[in-house]
A and B are shown apart, each in its own frame.
Chain A
Amino acid sequence: MSCHRYEAIHTRRDFLAQTGLGLGAAALAQVFGGNAFGAPAVSSSSSTGLPGLPHFPAKAKRVICLFQSGGPSHLDLLDEKPLLSARFNEDLPDSVRRGQRITGMVASQARLAVQPSKFAFQPGGKCGTRISDLLPHTREIADDICVIRSLHTEAINHDPAITFFQSGSQLPGRPSMGAWIDYGLGRLNDNLPSFVVLVSVNSKRAGQGLLARLWGSGFLPSGHQGVQFRSAGEPVLYLNDAPGITRERRRTMLDGITDLNRLQHAQSGDPEIETRISQFEMAYRMQASVPELMALDGEPAHVRESYGPDVTTPGSFARNCLLARRLAERGVRFIQLYHRDWDHHGGLHDSLPNIAKDVDQPSAALIRDLKQRGLLDDTLVIWGGEFGRTPYAQGDANREKYGRDHHGKAFSLWMAGAGIKPGTTYGASDDFGFNVTENPVHIHDLQATILHQLGIDHERLTYKFQGRQYRLTDVHGKVVKGILT
C-alpha cells in the first residue's frame, strides 16, 4: 500500500484513531488512494478527504479568498451613503450608535462627527451595482459579482477580527477555513499542497504584520495548515536543494534513502516507514512543481498585461492574482491571498486610492481570466476584509482629509463564481452605513455559505478536541441562500 496524500495529513495510526475507523488494510488502501508515482497533476481521486464528504453535490471545487487586511472602508468603496454628505460634521445620532462599543483609539474623542466619502460612486454593468470611482475595474465586472452590504462581526480590533474571519473564533487556536476544507475534502493535486497562502506587499510597503497562525491548522493535524508560497527567496521554505546538490544528485541520495528505508521496513515492520518514503518522493516532486507554478514565462503577454503593470513585480497583489489562477488550474483547493494596509485611521483620502489601485485591476482581471477559461463556474472568489470603517471621523470631520476607525456592525464584500448570483447585491445597511437593516450576513453565515458551495454542511464538518465536537462556525451560521443561484 502506498500513501501519496500531499500532506500525509496525519499518520495512518492517528487517522484511524481520530476517526474511529475500524478498517482493515484493504479498506485503508481505498481511503488513502492508490496512485502510482507520477500520477497526472490533477486527479479527482488523489485524496478522498473524509468519508461521506462532500455531503451533497458541490458547486465549487476550489476557493480563492482575496483578503483585504486592515478593514477596507465600505463607505468609500462598495456602500454609497449620500446622507453622510448631507449630515456632514453632525454628531452621529445616539439612536444609530445604540451604545456600540468603540475602540480605544477614539474612546477619548469628544464627539463622533459624521464623515462623508469624498469619492463618487457610479453604476456598473447591466445590473447597475453602484461602486466607487476607486474601483473602476471592479465596476466593470459588476455583472459577474454579488456585492453583499450587510456583513457584520463582533470584533473591533484587527487581530481578533481577522482571526474570526479565518477561523470562526476571535481567540487564536482554532483551525483556519482552508485547513478545515483540506481536512474535509482532501486534495485534488499530488504535487502541490491543497491550501496555499500568498501574502502580497503593497505599493507603500506598509501595514500590519500577518501571523502565520491565520493559516494554521489549530487542533487539526498540522498537515492541514496552509503553506505559504513566498515571493522572495525560496517560494516554499527549504524548497531549494543546498548549493552543489543538483536534481540528479538529489535523486542519487533519495534512491539510497528509499533503498535503506525499505530494508528498515522489512526489519521493523512499521508501516509509517512506507509513508515516509512517499513523503520524501512528494517533496522531490514539489521541488519541480512549485517553481514551474511560480514561473510566469509561459503566460501570454495579453494575459499578464490584463492583471496590470504590477504583475511583473514579485510579491505584488497583481502577480499573486495571476498565481492564484495558476494554482486554481492545478487543483489547489483553497487559495488564500492577503493584501495589507487598509487600516486608514487618518489620511484615508490619500492612502485609500493607492491601495485600491493595487488591487482593483488584478481582482477584476482574475475574475475575467477565470471566466474565460471556464474556471469561474466552479471557483468561488471572495473579496473583502475583517470589518469596515466608521461613518464618523477619527479626529475631526473634513470633506477632503479624513480618517475612519474600525467598524464591524455593518460592512461590505463581494463574491463571485461557483453558484453565486452574478450581477446582484444583497443586504443593506442604514443611511449611515452603521447598522445592518436588511438581510444581515454574519461572518459565520459567510463561512457556512462558503462550505455549502463546496458541498459541505457546516454543521457536520466537525473534529473532536478536548471532549467536544468543534466546527468552523462554532454553534452558529446559516447558509445565505439569497446569494445563491
Chain B
Amino acid sequence: MRTDFHPCHSARREESTWTLAPLRRIESPAGFFATLRMTSSPQFVLTLLAVAGSCAVHAAEPIDFNRHIQPILSDACFRCHGPDAGSRKAKLRLDQRDGVFRTREDVTVVVPGKPDASELYLRISSKEEDEVMPPRESSRQLKPAEIDLLKRWIAAGAPWGTHWAFSAPARPPVPAIEKRDSKSENPIDAFVRARLAREKLTPAPEAERAALLRRVSRDLTGVPPTAAELDAFIADVAPDAYDRAVDRLLASPRYGERWAWDWLDLARYADTNGFQGDPERTMWPWRDWVVNALNANMPYDQFTVEQLAGDLLPEATRDQKLASGFHRNNMFNGEGGRIAEETRVENVFDRVDTTSTVWLGLTFTCARCHDHKFDPIKQTDYFSLYDIFNQMSETGSASGGGGRSGAIVPVLDMSTDAEREAVSKAQAAIDAVAKEIETFELIKFPRPEGKAVVDSPAAQKLPGNLVATHARPAVNRRDLNGLLEALPFFRDTEPDAPYVALLNKHISAIRKRDNASNNITKVMIMDELPKKRDTFVLNKGNYESRTDVKVLGAIPSLFAKTSLGEGTPPTSDTPARLNRLDLARWLVSPENPLGARTAVNRAWQAFFGTGIVKTAEDFGAQSEPPSHPELLDWLATEFVASGWDVKKLHRTIVTSATYRQSSRVTPALHERDPENRLLARGPRHRMPSWMLRDQALAAAGLLNETRGGPSVKPYQPAGIWEEATFGKKSYQQDHGDALYRRSLYVFWRRIVGPTSFFDAGARQVCTVKVAHTNTPLHALVTLNDPAFVEAARVMAQRALTSAVRTDSARLDAVFRAATARLPAATEKSVLLGRLAKLRGQFGAAPAEAHQLAGAGEFERPESIPVVEHAAWTALCSLILNLDEALSKE
C-alpha cells in the first residue's frame, strides 16, 4: 500500500492494486488482520519528520499509557485503525479499549502480560513483508525503541487509559521537595524541581535583580523598566520587594495592552476585511474592550462568555454586545463574483475552527470533511458546532453594512454626530462635482436630449471596461475603481485636460467621502436569527453539497461521555438544541476538560517561550505530551478555583523561582535540553517584533501612553499599500504623537500588514503560537526602520542634553535604557572605541552627520552639534541592535 502522509482519504488518488493476503496463521481469507499490499515497489520512508515528541523512556521508568503508548498508537496506527470509520482497515480500532483487547477467530490483539501471544506485538515485530505493521509502504514506521516500548507495555499488563486531555484535570498533590533545594513555597517550583531531580539536573540561581525586573516588566507590561524603577527595585532590600514590583506591574494600564496582543492574534483582529479590495472596518472599540477587560481582571469565564455570546445574555448591555464582536473579526471575502453562501459558510467554518482551537485546543477543522483521523471527533460533531454558529443573520453578501466601510451587518453603531455630519458634508461635495461633470458631458458625449451618456456614439467608442464602468452609470454612481481606470485614458490616450481636472476633483471628493465614511464607527457584532437555519452535514465541507444528515447544536460527543476508551454513544436523540450562550457556558464549565488547560498553557507559553504542551494549538491524540502534566493540571485547577483569576495566574507564574532563574546556559545543559523544556534555567529568546518597537520608543522616552481609539498609521515605506492595491488604497501617515503610540494601536491592513513587525501572527486566521525566527530581514528592520532610527536619534539627544556630561556617564544611561544594566568595563571600552571612530567618520562628513541627526519628525534642539549627535545616534542604534537588547534575558 502506498500511503499518504496526509491522513485524509483521497478522492482523486490513483487506483491502487489491493490484494488481501491472509496471514499464515489465519485460515479465513477474511480474517480480521487481512494484509493490504500494493504491487508497486515500497517507498523510501522519511521517518525523520515523523514525531517531534520524544518517546524515549529509561528502562527503569514505569511506562505511562498516556505519555508513552498512546502517542505511538495515534501517530503510527490510528490512520487506519482509529476513529474515522471511513478509512478504517480490518474493522480494527486501536483507539478504544474494546478494539485493543478484542479476540476474534482465536486471535487476540493484546493479551496483557504476554507480548508473544499478542497479535499487535507479533505484527509490529514481524520480519515478513506481508504481515508487518505498519505496512512497509507506510510513511510512518516504528522505530526499534517504540517496538520495545509497546512490548514492555504489554508485558507490564498493558494498562489502558484515556487520552489525558479528554478527562477533566484532577488537582494533583504538590510534590514534596527537600527544603535545601528551595526556599520557594510556590507549588510551580515543587513540580518543576521534582522533574529536575528525576533528570538529575539542578535549577539555576536567581537572575540578577536588574535582569529580573526587565524580564518581568516586559512580560507583564511589554515595556522596559525606567531607570527610576530599576533604581528603586535594586535599592529595595525588603523580602517582598519583588512581589510589590509584580503588583505594581499588574496594576499598570500597560498590562492590558501587552496581553491584548496575544488575544488579538488568536481573535484574528485587523482593521480591514482582507481579500481583494480590502475595505476598512472599525473594530477598534472591540479591541479596547479587550484591553479594558484585561486591565479590570475580568474573570476568564466571563471574558469567554461575553465574547462568544454577549449579545445573548439576558438584558445584554452595550459592552456585552460589543464583546461579541470577537467572532466578527474573521476575514470577509467580498470579491465581485463571489457566491454569498460560499462566503457565509466559510465564515461559519472559521468561527467553529477558532472556537475549538482557543477553548478546546483541538483540530476540529479535520472533521469538516470526514471523521477525525486521530481524535474521536465525528463529522457530525463538527456540524453540531457549526449549527451553533450558523444562526447569525450574516448572509455572506458584503453589501448592506455600514455605508462604504467594510462593516457588515449586524453592527453596533457607535458613531458620533460629528462623524455622521462629516459624511453628509463629503457626500454633498461629491454631488456638487457630479453636477459640474454632468454639464461638461452634455458637450463631451453629445446625444439626444434626455438620453444617457452611454447612448452617445462618442461614449460607445470608449475602450475596455470604460463603457460599462464610466459611460453606463449615472455620474454620481461612478465608483472609485472605474474612475481610476478612466483617468489614464482621458489623460494619456485621448487627452482632455479640463475633463481630467473634473475627474480628479471627483476622485478626490469620493476619497474624502470614503475616508469620512470609514471613520463612522460601526462595530460588527453577533446576533441570532429569530427562526433558526436548518443545518445539514456538508459533504466534504463543500457548501454546495448538503447531505441529508441534519444536526442540531450540541457539545461534541467525545465530551458527552468524556472517554476515549469506552466509545461514545450517538447523540441523535439529543433533546435540546444548544445555542452560542449554552456553548460558551459549557466551554468554561467543569464539563470541559480543556477550557482551563488551554488558557494556562498559552500563558505559560507567553512567559517561557514554549507551552507545557508545546503544541498549543493541539491537545488531541497527536499533540506533544505535556512536559509537566501534573503542573499543567495543577495550574488549570488552581485557575478555576481562583474564579478564573487571570492576574492571579500570572502572579503565581512570575513569582515562582522557576521563572526567576537566570537564563545563562552551559554547553552541556544546552546539549541536554536545547529548548529548555525541563526549566533548569530561565527563559531567553528574542522579543516579539511589536515589543521591540515599543521598547525602542520607551528607551528614547518617546512612547505615547494614550490608550484606545482608532488605529494609528506610523512610519511606513512609501507605496506599500499602493503597490498591493494599484493605488486604490493610499497610506496617509500620521504625524506628531500618533507616531509614538504603542504597537497595539498600529493600523493593520490584512492584505499587507504593518511592515515593522516580523514573526507576527498574520491576523488572517486564529494563531495561538508565535515564531522566534532569526533572519537578515529582521536585522534590516531593527537597523533601518525609521521608527528605530528616530528612536536612536532621540535617545542620543536626551543623553546629550541631560545633566551628565562625560561620555562614560552618557554611555551608562543609554546602555541601561536598552538593557537595564550598566556596561561592563570591556563592553564600555568597545563602545567608547566605536564612538571615537564614529566621531571621526562623521566629523569628516558633516553634511551626512546632519542627515542622521535629523532622522524622523521629532523635534531636534539645534544646540546639539550635529557630528556629536550623529555619532551618538549611530552608537544608540548599535546598542538597540545588540542581541541582549533584542532578547528577553
In angstroms, Cα B6 to Cα A256, docked, is 49
In the complex, the answer to whether B886 meets A276 with C-beta atoms within 8 Å is yes
Task: Render A290-318 as a binary contact track against B, CB cut-off 8 A, 1 for contact.
Answer: 00000000000000000000000000000
User: Within 8 Å of chain B (Cβ to Cβ): is A36?
Assistant: no
Min CB gap B469→A, angstroms: 8
- What residues of B have a CB within 8 angstroms of the CB of A173 in the complex? 764-765
Task: Render A370-382 as a binary contact track against B, CB cut-off 8 A, 1 for contact.
Answer: 0000000000000
Would you list which residues of chain A between 450 and 485 have a CB under 8 Å from chain B?
457, 459-460, 462-464, 466-471, 474-476, 478
- What residues of A have a CB within 8 angstroms of the CB of B834 in the complex? 252-253, 255-256
User: Within 8 Å of chain A (Cβ to Cβ): is B12?
Assistant: yes
User: Within 8 Å of chain B (Cβ to Cβ): is A275?
Assistant: yes
Task: Render B23-65 as a binary contact track against A, CB cut-off 8 A, 1 for contact.
Answer: 0000000000000000000011010111110100000000000
Select from chain B the residue with minimum beta-carbon distance to A6. B776
Would you list which residues of chain A between 86 and 116 have a CB under 8 Å from chain B?
101, 103-107
Task: Render A70-84 as a binary contact track against B, CB cut-off 8 A, 1 for contact.
Answer: 000000000000000
With A11-B772, A269-B665 as given contacts, are A280 and B10 in contact (CB-CB < 8 Å)?
A: no
In angstroms, Cα B716 to Cα A238, docked, is 10
Would you list which residues of chain A between 1 and 18 have a CB under 8 Å from chain B?
6-14, 16-18
User: Within 8 Å of chain B (Cβ to Cβ): is A157?
Assistant: yes
Min CB gap A153→B, angstroms: 13
Would you list which residues of chain A between 393 and 427 have a CB under 8 Å from chain B?
405-406
Task: Render B745-777 as a binary contact track against A, CB cut-off 8 A, 1 for contact.
Answer: 000000111010011001011000001111111
Would you list which residues of chain B between 824 and 871 have a CB under 8 Å from chain A?
824, 826-827, 830-831, 833-834, 837-838, 841-842, 845, 848-853, 855, 870
Would you list which residues of chain B between 721 and 756 have a CB under 8 Å from chain A?
723-728, 751-753, 755
In the complex, the answer to whether B774 meets A276 with C-beta atoms within 8 Å is yes
In the complex, the answer to whether B848 meets A252 with C-beta atoms within 8 Å is no
User: Within 8 Å of chain A (Cβ to Cβ): is B316?
Assistant: no
User: Within 8 Å of chain A (Cβ to Cβ): is B336?
Assistant: yes
In the complex, the answer to whether A242 meets B13 with C-beta atoms within 8 Å is no
With A20-B52, A462-B49 as given contacts, are A280 and B776 in contact (CB-CB < 8 Å)?
A: yes
Contact of B464 (CB < 8 Å), options: A236, A268, A350: A350
In angstroms, Cα B664 to Cα A131, docked, is 67
- What residues of A have a CB within 8 angstroms of the CB of B883 in the complex? 261, 264-265, 272-273, 276-277
In the complex, the answer to whether A17 meets B52 with C-beta atoms within 8 Å is yes
Most buried by B among A157, A286, A345: A157
In angstroms, Cα B138 to Cα A469, docked, is 13
- What residues of A have a CB within 8 angstroms of the CB of B335 in the complex? 157-159
In the complex, the answer to whether A468 meets B366 with C-beta atoms within 8 Å is yes
User: Within 8 Å of chain A (Cβ to Cβ): is B363?
Assistant: yes
In the complex, the answer to whether A257 meets B674 with C-beta atoms within 8 Å is no
In the complex, the answer to whether A233 meets B717 with C-beta atoms within 8 Å is yes
In angstroms, Cα B883 to Cα A271, docked, is 11
In the complex, the answer to whether B14 meets A260 with C-beta atoms within 8 Å is no
In the complex, the answer to whether B774 meets A209 with C-beta atoms within 8 Å is no
User: Within 8 Å of chain B (Cβ to Cβ): is A38?
Assistant: no
Contact of A242 (CB < 8 Å), options: B52, B340, B686, B786: B786
Select from chain B the residue with minimum beta-carbon distance to A395. B468
- What residues of B have a CB within 8 angstroms of the CB of A457 in the complex? 43
- What residues of B have a CB within 8 angstroms of the CB of A252 in the complex? 834, 837-838, 841, 874
- Considering only CB atoms and an 8 Å cut-off, how many residues of chain A contact the other chain? 121
Min CB gap B3→A, angstroms: 9
Interface SS of chain B: loop
In the complex, the answer to whether B773 meets A11 with C-beta atoms within 8 Å is yes
User: Within 8 Å of chain A (Cβ to Cβ): is B889?
Assistant: yes
- What residues of A have a CB within 8 angstroms of the CB of B139 in the complex? 459-460, 462, 469
Q: Count how many pairs of residues, one from A and one from B, have CB atoms less than 8 Å apart in the complex.
A: 354
Min CB gap A231→B, angstroms: 8
With A209-B728, A211-B751, A462-B5 as given contacts, are A347 and B466 in contact (CB-CB < 8 Å)?
A: yes
With A221-B771, A283-B776 as given contacts, are A475 and B852 in contact (CB-CB < 8 Å)?
A: no
- What residues of A have a CB within 8 angstroms of the CB of B52 in the complex? 17-18, 20, 464
Task: Render B202-223 as a binary contact track against A, CB cut-off 8 A, 1 for contact.
Answer: 0000000000000000000000
User: Within 8 Å of chain B (Cβ to Cβ): is A234?
Assistant: yes
Select from chain A the residue with minimum beta-carbon distance to B622. A467
User: Within 8 Å of chain A (Cβ to Cβ): is B197?
Assistant: no
In angstroms, Cα B380 to Cα A162, docked, is 31
Contact of B719 (CB < 8 Å), options: A12, A205, A232, A248: A232
User: Within 8 Å of chain A (Cβ to Cβ): is B558?
Assistant: no
In the complex, the answer to whether A253 meets B878 with C-beta atoms within 8 Å is yes
User: Within 8 Å of chain B (Cβ to Cβ): is A122?
Assistant: no
In the complex, the answer to whether A21 meets B485 with C-beta atoms within 8 Å is no
Give the interface segment out of B101-109, B270-278, B598-606: B270-278
In the complex, the answer to whether B5 meets A103 with C-beta atoms within 8 Å is no
With A171-B346, A460-B5 as given contacts, are A283 and B780 in contact (CB-CB < 8 Å)?
A: yes
In the complex, the answer to whether A405 meets B5 with C-beta atoms within 8 Å is no
In angstroms, Cα B355 to Cα A187, docked, is 38
In the complex, the answer to whether B886 meets A249 with C-beta atoms within 8 Å is no
User: Within 8 Å of chain A (Cβ to Cβ): is B882?
Assistant: yes
User: Within 8 Å of chain A (Cβ to Cβ): is B615?
Assistant: yes
In the complex, the answer to whether B468 meets A468 with C-beta atoms within 8 Å is no
- What residues of A have a CB within 8 angstroms of the CB of B813 in the complex? none
- What residues of A have a CB within 8 angstroms of the CB of B277 in the complex? 209
Give the interface segment out of A140-148, A222-230, A359-367: A222-230
Contact of B789 (CB < 8 Å), options: A52, A242, A442, A474: A242
User: Within 8 Å of chain A (Cβ to Cβ): is B9?
Assistant: yes
- What residues of B have a CB within 8 angstroms of the CB of A14 in the complex? 771-773
Contact of A268 (CB < 8 Å), options: B664, B850, B855: B664
User: Within 8 Å of chain B (Cβ to Cβ): is A29?
Assistant: no
- What residues of B have a CB within 8 angstroms of the CB of A206 in the complex? 484-485, 726
Would you list which residues of chain A between 153 and 179 have a CB under 8 Å from chain B?
156-159, 171-173
Contact of B49 (CB < 8 Å), options: A9, A20, A159, A263: A20
In angstroms, Cα B845 to Cα A248, docked, is 12
User: Within 8 Å of chain A (Cβ to Cβ): is B800?
Assistant: no
- What residues of B have a CB within 8 angstroms of the CB of A204 in the complex? 464, 485, 488
In the complex, the answer to whether B7 meets A238 with C-beta atoms within 8 Å is no
In the complex, the answer to whether B762 meets A236 with C-beta atoms within 8 Å is no
With A347-B465, A466-B617, A469-B7 as given contacts, are A279 and B776 in contact (CB-CB < 8 Å)?
A: yes
In angstroms, Cα B5 to Cα A341, docked, is 37
- What residues of B have a CB within 8 angstroms of the CB of A263 in the complex? 824, 826-827, 830
In the complex, the answer to whether A467 meets B10 with C-beta atoms within 8 Å is no
With A21-B48, A238-B717 as given contacts, are A268 and B889 in contact (CB-CB < 8 Å)?
A: yes
User: Within 8 Å of chain A (Cβ to Cβ): is B467?
Assistant: yes
Min CB gap A405→B, angstroms: 7
- What residues of B have a CB within 8 angstroms of the CB of A268 in the complex? 663-665, 684, 889
Min CB gap B758→A, angstroms: 7
- What residues of A have a CB within 8 angstroms of the CB of B366 in the complex? 466, 468
Min CB gap B661→A, angstroms: 13
User: Within 8 Å of chain B (Cβ to Cβ): is A241?
Assistant: yes
In angstroms, Cα B833 to Cα A208, docked, is 53
User: Within 8 Å of chain A (Cβ to Cβ): is B146?
Assistant: no
Query: A: which residues have CB within 8 A of B?
Result: 6-14, 16-21, 24-25, 50-52, 55, 101, 103-107, 156-159, 171-173, 199, 204-213, 216, 221-223, 227, 230, 232-234, 236-246, 248-250, 252-253, 255-257, 259-261, 263-265, 267-273, 275-277, 279-280, 282-283, 286-287, 340, 345-347, 350-351, 405-406, 442, 444, 457, 459-460, 462-464, 466-471, 474-476, 478
- Closest CB pairs A-B (n = 6): A467-B622, A244-B852, A103-B337, A347-B464, A283-B776, A469-B5
Q: List 13 A-B contacts (CB under 8 A).
A: A10-B771, A209-B724, A223-B775, A232-B718, A246-B845, A256-B830, A260-B827, A263-B826, A269-B664, A351-B465, A467-B623, A468-B363, A468-B366
17 further contact pairs, Cβ within 8 A, besides A230-B719, A462-B49: A10-B773, A106-B337, A172-B765, A205-B726, A212-B752, A238-B717, A238-B785, A243-B855, A257-B878, A260-B882, A263-B826, A270-B665, A272-B774, A406-B337, A459-B2, A467-B615, A475-B8
